[in-house]
Structure 1
Amino acid sequence: MSPHPPLRRYSWLLAGTVLSLFAMQAAWDVALLAWVYPVLLLRFSRTGRPLPALLGVLGATTAATLVWFALADLLSPPLLLLAVPLALTGALPFALDRLLAPRPGQHRPWRASLVFPLASVAAEFAVATVTPFGTIHGVLGATQASNLPLIQVASVTGVHGVSFLVAWAASAGALLWERGLSDRAVRSVAAGAVGAVALAATAGGARMVFAPPASDTVRIAGVTASLAAWEEIVPTFREYDSLEALVAADPDEMRERFAPVNDELLAGTAREAAAGAEVVLWPESAAFTLEADRDLLVDRVRAVAEEHGVYVNAGMSVYTEEAPHIRNQMVMVTPDGGVAWTYDKSRPIPVLEPYEPGEGVIPVADTPAGRLATAICYDADFPGLLRQAGAADADVLLVAANTWEGIKEMHARNAVFRAVENGSSLFRQASRGRSNATDHQGRTLATTDYFTTEQQTMVAYVPREGVTTVYSRIGDAFAWSCLVGLAVLVPGRWSRPGGQRRRPVVLDGGAPGAHEGASPGAEREG
């Protein structure tokens, strides 16, 4: 038997790598391919010697990560350094499957099939919880945002429950491919995985049909400065190419330069309020003001709010004398002229936004328009942070965003899961990106694209009342249970009664892991 892996195995690796580029939570996503590419990569990794197999999978995840950075327009050298840990994390579930699954798979295919989904959720959850990446990259379940019946499971498990179902189906598919339909135990595993997906989708569909959102709605308008107004202010940021220079500039000149954008936002707010909007949302960093002039800007917003009886959640960049010279804030002005909250962005984007984060407390306010909460852009990629809104029974989540073309789609889709998880309608207004509004079950109510729409306004009627979800109460209990389950499998792989270790059967060109007494349908490569 040749010591070199057969050409067929590398065709699986190549095909899995190519398909993964269309299912990696990016602009090219085809939801169906997220179910397919892991099968090919698992088949490759399970049928070769460990080191070449794992290096091959690492090559696949590295390629996918680099393409993701290219599509997201994040190819600067400092950011590319972040691709290394992301690629390693993407390869980790395949590595753990390769190392942990073979021996249990000899006699316990159920246990073997669970290694990959448990490891996938564990890796995603670890990144989302303890790193500054959140869920913006590498969350398998996020590719299914358009599959509304299936993603209802996120109201119980969070987005990681969707990831588990996709990964388990892939793992069972790879096991079925390896051992064939004639293996009764493996057929039961495949039936279990397919049954779990079908049950989740059926229950989700029933939820959508029999427990639809409330019919009482609130009109919300998102107002973004036009491209023309933005182009008027761009030369200012080119001339004053650092925050220090901008803060040191003549204040009167800065007020004049900021005026085209600020004036247009206020005029747009008055227009939409007069048209019937109860709430108006500005995007992240929509208005610009020096710290000394901030109260004057708020007073102008207050005048519009009082005149039209509207809630205005105003996003603004406030340039400060003290380093880091900028605050990224949302200020909610009420119809009586009060300020319901002043919120600083909790999760600045690593490298791109080198300023101090806010306190990490999502503000919530009771209003006739519902119980409102707010977050800013990248905040919505952290389920644990946004769960504060669900725990506080928020009805409507107002997300202000400021993105760019490379991430506009992935960012908008990712936010849909925060609505489903927390039982809150979502109204997300973005400048230089895609704005979207959904109900708490993820149905799209409105969407606009900054780059293809002349009128930078989005209007939607969203349900005034949300619902209480299991996820909003138990948080990431499902993800934690996956971590525990994976920890249970690890010692079970390397130990057995009496302290002896059984040597794995070697098939497929020297690959440990195929079961003893393989069924006639099992392949033998070499």
Structure 2
Amino acid sequence: MNTIATERQDKQKQWLYWALFLALFGLVNFFSSGRWVFAPAAWLGTVLTLRYLHGQTGWRPWVPFYLVLWLSTAVAWVDATPMPGVAHWVFMGINTLIALVPFALERWLVRRLDRAYAGDLPFAATLILPALLVGQEFLTTSSNPIGNFGAAGYSQFGFAPFVQLTAVTGLLGLTFVMAWFASVVNWVWTYHRFNWGRVWRGVAVYTAVFLLVLAYGTARLLTAPAPASATSDNTVAVASFTLHSLNPEEMFPLYESDLAAFRTETQTRHADYLAETAVVAANGAKIVLWPEGAGLGVEEDVNQLLAQGQALADQYDIYLAMPVFTLFADSERPAENVLYIADPAGEIVLTHVKYGGNALEGTLAGNGELQAIETPYGTLSGVICWDTDFPATVRQAGEMGVDILLSPARDWAGIDPMHGQMATFRAVENGMAVIRQADGGWSVTADAYGRVLNESPVDVAYQTSAISTQGVPTLYAQFGDWLGWFSLALFALLGGWALVAGLQHGRVAKTVGTLVRQ
């Protein structure tokens, strides 16, 4: 009876331990991504995930883990996804299932290797998880209509030396290093029980790689030119401002119910943007940017705005970036979200149709081909808001040697300032300055190293900056997502190793069993 009671108490203690462990994971995961992200939590969350899943056997741990992961992630992203109400919870539930697939596969493969090596799991097995997570991120974001929103690397905004790795690997490099850290900790904790005689070499290898990454990032920042100032050579004065909120909740119903009132309101907004452009141009700005949708209006009014903007560009000898949102009254033609740039001669020299998030806003989808123009202030290009969430597409700017990327944007409260922070990663990846002027979100100017030169968190936002006209070549701009392909190949190699080792172990065990029975 005492034995039975002791076993019951042990099970109760174990259940309580894992319940508390799961609660801790839920808290940490809440801060790992989404609206209230805390960079260290993203590292710790994956560690706790592996410890919980590898520390138990069978399928039962997966059910409570899925529920905690789903709920904590869904709450962290509430009002940040474009899905309202119940749709948000369903959407996050599906995403959570997809996110668990690589962890399930990793656990299965690692346990095969652990059995094959008689409990002495090789250090190379720690590479299975980073290869899987990077491979999954690479494949899913390449075809995802909302881009790489929610990618793990974005959680590291502000960790400047680490973020410099994206100039070599893109955002996938951050995912790889973070996942490998968690896998190494789990290898030490779960499979070797902190037996330092067995694990010190592996720990030393990871530590050396991590320190090398930080050393590279630190050296890149220390050797970078000082941020541009108004008196620096090779700089250009850029002004961007938000005078009105697009306010679609009011403007689109007004368009449907009272077209005349809608036109009066949008014409007033157009006049305000033109007037302020004249002011900043007179004060010395050479490049002027408005926020996404500043030129909201019907086709006739938008055409008039563009013509007046071209005249201003000619008059003041500036490059004027005009984002317009054209509605076609009495037509089935979809709305068009387009960025036009007029040069100092008053000619439209760049026309960019937004390609990101079109299905959600119901606009004409762009072809995803970036354009660039040569100016006295370096090579200039432009995208619109959600477009920056597609790093593989924005890499065209790096390939073309773009020095300054303009990004008019419109956010909602749930993705502010997260969405603006994401755009700064494109600056580091491609070695170019990014000027993001937002309506309803974080307006920011970042240089080619991701350093924030100017920012404004308010709706009526002004930015005036001296921007370097010289970008910085990067390996990512040249070679793209090479790490994604490498990770897929690495997983194929490691997965094959685990399968073969498991089969060989099974044959040996079967042979030994036969001999014992004889």
Q: Same fold (TM over 0.5)?
A: yes
- State the 1:97 CA deviation: 2.3
1-structure distance, mates of 2:26, 2:249:
40
Q: Tell me the equivalent position of 1:283.
A: 291
1:133 maps to which of 127, 146, 159: 146
1:147 maps to which of 159, 177, 180: 159
1-structure distance, mates of 2:249, 2:64:
45
Q: Tell me the equivalent position of 1:51.
A: 59
- State the 1:307 CA deviation: 1.5
2-structure distance, mates of 1:39, 1:476:
26
Contact 2:312 2:346 in 1 (8 A): no
Unaligned runs of 5+ in 1: 505-526
Q: Tell me the equivalent position of 1:239.
A: 254
2-structure distance, mates of 1:324, 1:483:
42
- State the 1:78 CA deviation: 4.0
1-structure distance, mates of 2:153, 2:492:
22
* One-letter identity of the residue aligned with 2:126: S
2-structure distance, mates of 1:150, 1:48:
33
2:237 maps to which of 209, 219, 223: 219
Give secondary structure in 1 for the equivalent of 2:339. Answer: strand
- State the 1:56 CA deviation: 3.5
2-structure distance, mates of 1:176, 1:499:
25
2-structure distance, mates of 1:16, 1:291:
52
- State the 1:399 CA deviation: 0.9
Contact 2:160 2:217 in 1 (8 A): yes
1-structure distance, mates of 2:494, 2:242:
51
Choose 1 or 2 for highest CA Rg. Answer: 2
- State the 1:223 CA deviation: 1.7
2-structure distance, mates of 1:234, 1:16:
38
Give secondary structure in 1 for the equivalent of 2:373. Answer: strand
Q: Tell me the equivalent position of 1:326.
A: 335
Q: Tell me the equivalent position of 1:475.
A: 480
Higher alpha-carbon deviation: 174-183 or 190-199: 174-183
1:400 equivalenced with 2:418 (yes/no): no
1:107 maps to which of 120, 143, 158: 120
Aligned pairs (5 A) from 1:441-452: 441-451=449-459
2-structure distance, mates of 1:363, 1:79:
35
1:205 equivalenced with 2:214 (yes/no): no
Q: 1:426 to 1:348 in 2, by over 3 A?
A: same
1-structure distance, mates of 2:68, 2:378:
47
CA displacement, residues 307-341 of structure 1 (integer Å, 9 cap, x when unaligned): 11111111111012543531001010111011111
* One-letter identity of the residue aligned with 2:57: R
Contact 1:156 1:470 in 2 (8 A): yes
1-structure distance, mates of 2:19, 2:200:
26
Contact 1:313 1:331 in 2 (8 A): yes
Q: 1:317 to 1:155 in 2, by over 3 A?
A: same
Q: Tell me the equivalent position of 2:231.
A: none
1-structure distance, mates of 2:349, 2:80:
35
Q: Tell me the equivalent position of 1:378.
A: 386
- State the 1:448 CA deviation: 0.5
Higher alpha-carbon deviation: 390-399 or 286-295: 286-295
1:163 maps to which of 175, 179, 197: 175
Aligned pairs (5 A) from 1:166-315: 166-178=178-190, 179-212=192-225, 215=228, 216-226=234-244, 235-240=250-255, 245=256, 250=259, 253-315=261-323
Number of residue-to-residue matches in the alignment: 488
Aligned pairs (5 A) from 1:11-26: 11-24=20-33, 26=34
1-structure distance, mates of 2:488, 2:451:
31
2-structure distance, mates of 1:62, 1:488:
31
2-structure distance, mates of 1:503, 1:315:
68
Q: 1:50 to 1:479 in 2, by over 3 A?
A: farther
1:62 equivalenced with 2:74 (yes/no): no
1:368 equivalenced with 2:376 (yes/no): yes
Q: Tell me the equivalent position of 1:520.
A: none
CA displacement, residues 116-155 of structure 1 (integer Å, 9 cap, x when unaligned): 2122212222221122232111x22111110111111100
Unaligned runs of 5+ in 2: 1-6, 229-233, 510-518
1-structure distance, mates of 2:210, 2:468:
29
TM-score, normalised to structure 1's length?
Answer: 0.87
1:434 maps to which of 429, 439, 442: 442
- Structure number with greater CO (CA < 8 Å, separation at least 6) is 1
CA displacement, residues 356-398 of structure 1 (integer Å, 9 cap, x when unaligned): 3111111111111210111111111111110010011100111
CA displacement, residues 450-502 of structure 1 (integer Å, 9 cap, x when unaligned): 24xxx421122221110111000110011111122112222322233875527
RMSD of aligned C-alpha atoms?
Answer: 2.4
TM-score, normalised to structure 2's length?
Answer: 0.88
1-structure distance, mates of 2:143, 2:474:
24
2-structure distance, mates of 1:112, 1:12:
24
1-structure distance, mates of 2:286, 2:239:
8
Greater helix fraction, Structure 1 or Structure 2: 2
- State the 1:77 CA deviation: 3.7
- State the 1:420 CA deviation: 0.6
Q: 1:330 to 1:497 in 2, by over 3 A?
A: closer
Give secondary structure in 2 for the equivalent of 1:27. Answer: coil
Give secondary structure in 1 for the equivalent of 2:383. Answer: strand
